[in-house]
Amino acid sequence: MAHGSRSWVIPANEYRRERWRNQLGWTRQIHAGQLPGAVENESWDWRLSIAEIERDAEFSSFPGIDRELVLLSGNGVRLRFDDGEAHELLPPHDRLRFAGERRLVGELIDGPTHDFNLMWRRDRVRATLWHRPLVGPMVVFADPGTTWAVHLIAGQASFDDDSGLPPLAAADTAIFETGEARLRHVIDGGGEALLIRIEPVA
């Protein structure tokens, strides 16, 4: 393991379920992370969660935050912004990146949805998200000072023997925090995954 690095798995049954900030829905928080030198009175610099949208509802406002929403399950949700723009997130895994200040309503297309929610403070963090099929081994190279997350949408996966990490089941998430050296993990399995890279703004 690289010096100062840390890797762990968060099982889906350990996600913390809580109300949306505006009380109009539920979210399951996966992880909230802070960069070194985090600003006091701010609880996170980036956050991973799963929004449970059970009815048409206005989204909470998050000034200073950018976010990306990925449809995980359900028949889709229409994101209708106050400025007239509208986007439909349709199966299997449509996604949209938008500013957290923008006012919008989520309109269910046909029944409830679960949506992966990546959020980050744009003045401190750059975030990149990829949706990848998992067919056999995949290698994650994490550069010094970055954090990676792997959220398994479906299937199962395991890590190289020397990682010490338990296997991933569907809906579990792995977090890799690098220290001063590059970190390498081999993920082997079958299914679909979201890969997220978090890095500080230069």
- Is the domain of 168 the same as that of 194? yes
What confidence tens digit (pLDDT) does each residue in 13-34 have?
A: 999 999 888 888 899 999 999 9
Tell me how far apart the alpha carbons of residues 3 and 140 are, in angstroms, rounded to a whole number: 17
Tell me: do 108 and 132 sit in the same domain: no
Please compute the mean of the pLDDT values over residues 166-173 and round it to a whole number: 97
Tally of structural domains, the chain: 2
Which pLDDT value is given to residue 21? 81
Give the C-alpha separation, 53 to 34, whole Å. Answer: 27
Same domain, 43 and 93: yes
Residue 139: name the closest of 184, 182, 189, 76 by CA: 184
Q: Is 23 left (phi over 0), alpha (psi -120 to 50) or beta?
A: left
* Same domain, yes or no: 63 and 147: no
Contact 114, 51 (CB under 8 A): yes
Q: Compute the mean pLDDT over every residue in the chain, rounded to the nearest whole number.
A: 93
- Return the CATH number at 179: 2.60.120.10
Please tell me what DSSP assigns to residue 86.
E
Same domain membership, residue 94 and residue 52? yes
- pLDDT-derived band of residue 37, with 50, 70 and 90 as boundaries? low
**Which is nearest to 82 in space by CA: 61, 108, 55?**
61
Give just the sign of the alpha carbon dihedral 165, 48, 57, 80: negative
Say if residue 137 is in the same domain as residue 55. Answer: no
Domain boundaries, position 138: 6-10+125-200
Q: Does residue 181 form part of some domain?
A: yes
Contact 125, 144 (CB under 8 A): no
pLDDT in tens, 40-85: 666 899 999 999 999 999 999 999 999 999 999 999 999 999 999 9
Q: Do the beta carbons of residue 133 and residue 195 sit within 8 Å? A: no
Last residue in a domain, options 121, 150, 177: 121
Contact 198, 32 (CB under 8 A): no
Task: Indicate whether 114 and 129 sit together in one domain.
Answer: no
1 found inside a domain: no
Shared-domain flag, residues 21 and 113:
yes
Q: What gap in Å lies between CA 160 and CA 188, rounded to an integer?
A: 8
Cβ neighbors of 21 (< 8 A, separation 6 or more) are: 60, 61, 62
Q: Nearest 5 degrees, angle CA 108-CA 94-CA 62?
A: 70
Q: What is the pLDDT of residue 40?
A: 64
